[in-house]
Amino acid sequence: MSRTTATVAASLPDQWEELVTTALLGTDRRTPPGVAPGPQAPSALLDAAAAATVRRRAGLRPARPAERLRPAPEDPRPPLPPAAARRLAALLADRPGASGGGRRGAAPDLMELLPQWLQAANARGYAAPPQALPALLDAARGRTDLRPAALRFAGPRALWLARLNPDWRFALRAAPGGGPSAPDLRDPQGIRRLWQEGLFAERVTLLTALRSRDAAAARALLEETWATERAEDRLMFLDSLRAGLGPDDETFLERALADRSRNVRATAAELLSALPASALAARMAVRAAACVAMDRTQDVPTVVVEAPHECDAAMERDGVVAKAPAGRGERSWWLGQLVEAAPLGTWPGRLGGRTPEEIVALPVADGWQGELHGAWCRAAVRQRDAEWSRALLGEPSAPEAGGPGAVSLAERARLLATLDAGERAAWVAGFIETHGLSEAFQLLGVCAVPWAPPLGRAVVDALNIARDAGSYPWSFSGVMGLAERCLDPSEASRLDALLAIPDEPEDAAPGAGSYWSEAFQRLVTTLRLRGAMLAELAPEEPAP
C-alpha cells in the first residue's frame, strides 16, 4: 500500500456505508474523503475498503458455538447379510430410463423389485445399512408407494437424518413417531400434549398409531376435542376409526350422525352400517325390508321391489344422500343406499329362509335385479361377508363373466378381497381358464403374492395360448408385468420352453413372436433374480 493511500485509509473513519455508496456511484462521480479525483482514486477506495473490512472483522465477537449434534440412535435390529446389502445397493442405484414407448427389452426392472425386497427384509427384521440410508430416503421421496416399507426398514436413523435435510422431511410426517415431539405411546401426558398442540399431520399420525394399540384410548382422545375441530379435520380423524372398528365405537358414531358436515355424517353412517348389530343397521334393515319382498303368487318365486317414494329427514340423518347423481333415478338411488347399509342377515328371514346363494339365484321383477344385486355387493364388501361374496361372484366358469350379482370387474375384485387368499387365487384361476386374461387384470391385483401354484399355472398357460394364437402382444404387457412381480420364483424352470421365438401365424401382429420371446426371457430372468434375492435374505447358518 502506498504512503499516500495508507495515510488516507488510516485517516478515514470506519464508515462502511460511505464506502459502499462511493463504490456504487463510481470514483469518477464521487471520491473517498481526502482523496483527489484522478487515476489513483479507485485504488484508494479499494485500500480503504480493505482496511475497513479488517477493522470490522476484528471488532466482531465470536458467535456462541452451536449445540453439538447428538449421535444418531442405535438400531438394535440385526444387520443385513453382506450379499443382501450388495443387492440393496444395486436396486437403489437403478433408475428407470427414459421411455421411448417401445419394447422394454429382456432386462429386469430393478426398481420394480425394490418393494418386494423391502417387504422381505422387513419380514425378517433386518436393519438398513447406514451407508444406504440417503439413497433409501431419496427413493422413498420419489415414490410414495415405497414410503411405508422403506421407512420401516430405514428405522430410527432415517428420522435422525430427515431432521437434518429438508428434502427428507416427508419421513417425519409419514413415519409413526417421526414428529420431533412425538411421545412414547405409553406416555399419557405426552400424548395429550401432542394431541392438543401438534400439527395436523402429527395428530393424524398419533391417532392412527394409538388406534392400532388401544382403540378405546384413541376414541377417548378424539372425543375430548371433537366439538372444536374443523370439519375437514373431523372427517380425517373419523376415518382413522376404521382400524379396530367395534361395538364400543357405536355411541360416538351415533353422535357424529348429527354433525354439521354432510361428509362427516356420511362417514359415520358408513362405519355404523359396517357394525351389523348397531342401531343404525337395525333402522336400515327395517327400511330396506319394507322395499324388498317375496312374491309367491307366481309360478316361480320372485323378488319384488318397491323403491322408497321419498327421502325423509330421518333417512338423511342416517347417511342417505337425498340428491341422486346425474343419470340416476332418485328412487333407485335411495333404494341402493338402504340395501347396502342393511345387515345381510336381514335377507334370509325376509326371503323365505333361503341361503345367500339361493337368494341371489331368484329372479327379480321389473328390472330391479342389477340395482338390488349391486347393493348386496357393496354390503358384502362393507360387512366383509364371505358367504354373500361367494354367492354374488358365482362360479368362475359361468358363461357370463359378470357372475349372478357383480356389476363390474372392480366390484368383483372387491368381493374377492373378502375371501381368504387360497380361495381367492382358486377362483381367479378358474376365471382365467374360462375367460382368458383380457378381463382378469383387476382380479389378479387382489391376489396374494406370490401367486398360489394353480393361479400361476393358469396365468402362464393363458399367456402361452395368447402367444401361440399370434395375439397382439402389447395388450398383455400389464399382465406380464404383474407376473414378473407376483409369480412364485419356483415357476421359472417351467418357463424355459417358452423362450424360443415361435412360428408366427399369417394373421399375427408383425414381430409378435420375437416380442413374446423377449417378454418371457425377461420374466424368467426376473423370477430367478427374485429367488436369488430371497435366498440372500435368509439368515446365515452358523459355522459348525
- Cα 29 to the center of its chain, rounded Å: 66
Residue 386: the pLDDT is 96
> Whose grid coordinates read 325376509?
350
Report pLDDT for 544.
Answer: 53
According to the model, what pLDDT value does residue 107 have?
Answer: 76
**What predicted TM-score, i.e. pTM, was given to this entire model?**
0.75
Q: How far apart are CA 330 and CA 318, in angstroms?
A: 17
Residue 49: what pLDDT? 84
pLDDT of 296 reads 85
C-alpha cell at 173: 410426517
d(CA 543, CA 126): 20
pLDDT of residue 13: 46
Grid coordinates representing 251 are 355411541
Query: What does the angle CA 158 – CA 131 – CA 126 come to, to the nearest 5 degrees?
Result: 65
What's residue 11's pLDDT?
44
Asked if the bond preceding 450 is cis, omega within 30° of 0, the reply is yes
CB of 218 within 8 A of CB of 192? no
User: What pLDDT does residue 503 have?
Assistant: 63
Give pLDDT, residue 105: 62
With a cut of 70, which residues of the chain have pLDDT below it? 1-14, 60, 95-106, 174-185, 400-407, 472-473, 501-512, 540-544
pLDDT the model gives residue 398: 79
Q: What is the pLDDT of residue 466?
A: 83
Q: What is the pLDDT of residue 99?
A: 41
Is 214 exposed, middle or buried, given 0-12, 13-18 or 19+ CB atoms closer than 10 A? middle
